[in-house]
Amino acid sequence: MNPTTPADPSPSDAPSPAPARKRRPPRRVEVSRVEVLSPAMRRITLTGAELEGFAPAGPASYLKLIFPEPGQTEPTRPLPDGPRAVSMRTYTPLAVRPETLEVDVDFVLHGEGPASTWAAQAKLGQVLFLMGPGPGYTLDAEATQHLLIADDSALPAVETILAALPASASARVLLEVISAAEERPLHSAAQLEVTWLPRGSNHRAAGLPLEQALRSLPAIAADARIYLACEAAAMRRLRKLLTDELGIPRNQIVGRGYWKLDEVNHPDHDYGDDS
């Protein structure tokens, strides 16, 4: 009998448990470039032979990075199915270059946190472990109107969505950042209209500039597809504004809580389904 094919269950057989989902093995990567993009954004290039075969899972996909614990110069290699590392955080593979085994990741320097603190001091040769990728945003191939609403943590995700849009589409983009110094050119084959919204350094105001801008937008196309990614409570408020006040059907909106005020390591799968 083929050992991978289970025998037909007899009535007395207990139901077989679902096969455990295997996580991809962690990949050891090293910092090969650190670029200061703006006061609060660092682009860090990670490279290494173990990146062989790594490919992002569509626009706005994610990866996991494991940072050193206090006192460590290099994180411990996690066991593939062992406990999750405490200092593991979620980031966006902004650019992946398989030919040179490189991934670019843009980090917001928001203050204290294993990821942000590490990124602020990142140096060539430092080691992290990388896991993933995880799935991103499924673009509706038929849609021509897109509204992308995001804060700085989701700016890399927005850039990957813009890169995937066809020339026949148009995208209205609202981006909340700490200050005007964070603005950068955005590129897409689609027609773009971009509004940068400086929030100031008070993270407690997260989402307020986006809310104001959304309220003063001219009518949103009835069939617009909306990607909304920012602080978790702000995402819920903005989605409610879109559905309850602006009449957008809920199934046209994908909401993602990318971080949460006063919460360490907010989960990577917060779609706001509880709201």
Ligand X SMILES: Cc1cc2nc3c(=O)[nH]c(=O)nc-3n(C[C@H](O)[C@H](O)[C@H](O)COP(=O)(O)OP(=O)(O)OC[C@H]3O[C@@H](n4cnc5c(N)ncnc54)[C@H](O)[C@@H]3O)c2cc1C
* Residues within the interface to ligand X (CB under 6 A): 62, 89-92, 106-108, 110-116, 153, 156, 203, 258-266, 268
Between 55 and 264, name the residue whose CB sits nearer to ligand X: 264
Task: State the nearest-atom distance from the C-beta of 40 to ligand X, in Å.
Answer: 9
Task: State the nearest-atom distance from the C-beta of 160 to ligand X, in Å.
Answer: 9
Between 77 and 260, name the residue whose CB sits nearer to ligand X: 260
Task: State the nearest-atom distance from the C-beta of 48 to ligand X, in Å.
Answer: 19
Between 204 and 215, name the residue whose CB sits nearer to ligand X: 204
Between 142 and 262, name the residue whose CB sits nearer to ligand X: 262
| Structural tokens at position 222 | 């009835």
Between 48 and 91, name the residue whose CB sits nearer to ligand X: 91
Q: Which residue is nearest to ligand X (CB)?
A: 113
Task: State the nearest-atom distance from the C-beta of 234 to ligand X, in Å.
Answer: 11
Task: State the nearest-atom distance from the C-beta of 19 to ligand X, in Å.
Answer: 26
